[in-house]
Amino acid sequence: MNRPFYIAVVDDDTHIRELVEACLKKEQYRTAGLASAEEALELWRRDPPDLWVLDIMLPGMDGYAFCQLIRREAEVPIIMISARDHEVDKVLGLELGSDDYLTKPFSLRELTARIKRLLHRWYRTQENSPGLQSAGGPPAASQRLVWGALHVLPEERRIFWNQQEVELTMKEFELLHVLALHPNRAFTREELLTLVWGDDYFGSDRAVDHLIKRVRKKMPELPIEAIWGHGYRFRIGEAEQLEAGLSD
């Protein structure tokens, strides 16, 4: 990426917002400071940033609601910051789609380190993901998974369900890809956290449940089964298989 990374800092506390922006500018990031989620939405439509640093307690729309709106459209990295230090607040933020959570007061050095980690992981994944082709049914691909009505094209990072392309975020795609690669295998939530979020993920395994809900909402008949006290599996019977495995 040739241009400087662009980071939006959304916090109604002017002192904190300016401190964070000054720190990020020293690291050669381009920044935008905003005092409300409403201002942030205008920025998202006009000049979307590469990463959000998002306070939860904002006037008007709060950070939780703003995070939900962004997650409906993209998987851009989001770090939530808040004076709330209860586990339920952290879990809620992660379930709604944030990638990280810092409690105020926090170290600017730690915030910068987490931003660098998220940007590195996110844009490394983006560079390895070719652009989408035109719609109109699954294209002929050298590698794909076909299980019943589900077609997974890993190289193009595209999903088709009943011949219709389904728009998924990065994490939604990765979760479904993992499950479809191993049909009928029972994954624990901890396994899915590691495979989708990475080894250094610190949050609750309830984030897996929320991601499953998002995928099911987009494909209600998808045969993802919950295994009580364990995790999830992608359930396929022999009679439902139209084609199996990856083809070279």
pLDDT, residue 141, reads 38
CB-neighbour burial class of residue 115 (10 A; exposed 0-12, middle 13-18, buried 19+): buried
pLDDT, residue 173, reads 87
pLDDT, residue 203, reads 60
Q: Are the C-beta atoms of residues 223 and 233 closer than 8 Å to each other?
A: no
Cα angle for residues 236, 242, 243 (degrees, 5° grid): 95
CB atoms within 10 A of CB 188: 15
Q: What is the dihedral of CA 218, 220, 223, 225, to 10 degrees?
A: 90
Any bridge partners for residue 9, and if so which?
Answer: 33, 53
Q: Which residues of the chain have pLDDT under 50?
A: 128-142, 239, 241-248
pLDDT, residue 62, reads 93
Model pLDDT for residues 165-219, shown as the tens digit of each residue: 998 877 888 899 989 888 899 999 888 888 887 766 656 677 788 889 889 999 9
Q: Is residue 68 within a helix (H) or strand (E), and if so which, with residue range?
A: helix 63-71
pLDDT, residue 124, reads 60
pLDDT, residue 126, reads 54
Do residues 207 and 235 both lie within one domain? yes
pLDDT, residue 137, reads 38
Q: How many distinct helices (H) and strands (E) make up the chain?
A: 8, 12
Name the domain count of the chain: 2
pLDDT, residue 156, reads 78
Do residues 19 and 123 both lie within one domain? yes
Do residues 15 and 42 both lie within one domain? yes
Do residues 86 and 171 both lie within one domain? no
pLDDT, residue 16, reads 95
Domain that holds residue 76: 6-127
DSSP conformational letter for 139: P
Residue bearing tokens 């022999």: 238
